[in-house]
Amino acid sequence: MGSISFQSVDKVFGGSVKALDDINLEIADKEFVAIVGPSGCGKTTCLRMVAGFEAASSGTVSVNGRPVTSPGPDRAVVFQQFALFPWKTVRENIDLGLRNKNLAIGERSELIAGALKLMNLESHADAFPHQLSGGMQQRVAIARAYVLDPEVLLMDEPFGALDAQTRVVMQEELVRISRRNPRTVLFITHAVEEAVYLADRVAIMTRRPGRIKEVLDIKAVREREAWDKYPKIEDVMDLESFVHLRTHIWKSLREEKGFKDV
């Protein structure tokens, strides 16, 4: 179970900077929702409130109907800036969450091996983060979150640091994983195509103070047009139904001054 609910959520920083204005969003269990919006509109803030790092100034953020009070491994986070422990190897970074769950060593090594394989990191298990490229570090951060098998996965621009090729591989991989083992995902991105390709729904935010401007149902289109029968992202991206959604989101974002990443 992993539903997320934002009810009339406002966030004000330092008494005067209004970052979020009346956010309402219901994310069902096992639903994949992407948030897009101009830089500084409050996407990361939304995610941090679900994670339990930040409290709403007013309104309620709940997971499974219970208001969020503190962070916990039921809501794994992939941070925008990796946040790997520099003094731990790749394996140790992934292991920490498992040790905290008091799993037996045998089970842990199995899970770690699986996560390393999934993220194609097997040959770097004993490297330290500073010995890896940005893209590899990001994959470690994803592996560290995935291995916990959390009810809710919170991903803040997880592919932001990847080169275009790796990014595509990761996107296809994420689709494969989330079809096979669906879970609730809140996914933040600047890349419109990525949002449309991955998500069941896409929420578009206005510039600061961030509000939810529009929520698009992608899943209905995906199922109707049978996107999943195309194994490659570029084939999906050529479909008229895909292009239509993408263009719609672009236009919507264009109206928000300050969106400079498209």
Partner 1 sequence: MNDRPLSFAETFFLGLAGLVGFIGLWTFLSVSGIVPRQFLPNPLDVATRFIQLLSAPFAGATLPMHLASSFERYAYGVLLAAFVGVPLGLLMGWFRLLDDIVTPIFDGLRFIAPIAWVPFAALWFGTGIGGPVMIIFAGAFPPCLINAYRGARFVEPRLIEAGRMLGTPNSRMILEVLLPAAVPSIIAGLRVSAGLGWQSLVGAELIVAAAGVGFMMVQAQGSVQTQTVMVGMIAIGLVGMLIDVLLRQGEAWLRRRRGLEA
Ligand X SMILES: Nc1ncnc2c1ncn2[C@@H]1O[C@H](COP(=O)(O)OP(=O)(O)OP(=O)(O)O)[C@@H](O)[C@H]1O
Closest separation in Å from C-beta 100 to partner 1: 4
42 lies in the binding site for ligand X (CB under 6 A): yes
88 lies in the binding site for partner 1 (CB under 8 A): yes
What is the rounded distance in angstroms from the CA atom of residue 179 to the CA atom of residue 142? 17
44 lies in the binding site for Mg ion (CB under 5 A): yes
Q: Roughly what angle, to the nearest 10 degrees, separates helices 134-146 and 164-180?
A: 10
Q: Which residues contact 6 (CB under 8 A, 6 or more apart)?
A: 23, 24, 25, 26, 46, 49, 59, 60, 61
- Within 104-133, the residues that bind partner 1 by CB under 8 A are 128, 130
CB atoms within 10 A of CB 231: 10
Residue facing ligand X at closest CB distance: 44
Is the CB of residue 94 less than 8 Å from the CB of residue 115?
yes
DSSP-derived pairing of the beta strands 152-156 and 184-188: parallel
2 lies in the binding site for ligand X (CB under 6 A): no
168 lies in the binding site for partner 1 (CB under 8 A): no
Binding pattern to partner 1, positions 12-31, x when CB under 8 A?
A: --------------------
Closest separation in Å from C-beta 141 to ligand X: 16
158 lies in the binding site for ligand X (CB under 6 A): no
What tokens were used for 151? 């009810």
Q: 75 or 167, CB closer to partner 1?
A: 75
What tokens were used for 175? 């689709």
205 lies in the binding site for partner 1 (CB under 8 A): no
Which helix (DSSP H) or strand (DSSP E) does residue 53 occupy? none
160 lies in the binding site for partner 1 (CB under 8 A): no
195 lies in the binding site for ligand X (CB under 6 A): no
Span interacting with ligand X, options 33-41, 117-125, 167-175, 176-184, rule CB under 6 A: 33-41
Helix (H, G, I), strand (E, B) or coil at 65: coil
Q: 52 or 230, CB closer to ligand X?
A: 52
What is the rounded distance in angstroms from the CA atom of residue 222 to the CA atom of residue 61? 29
Positions touching ligand X (CB under 6 A) are: 13-14, 17, 19, 37, 39-45, 208
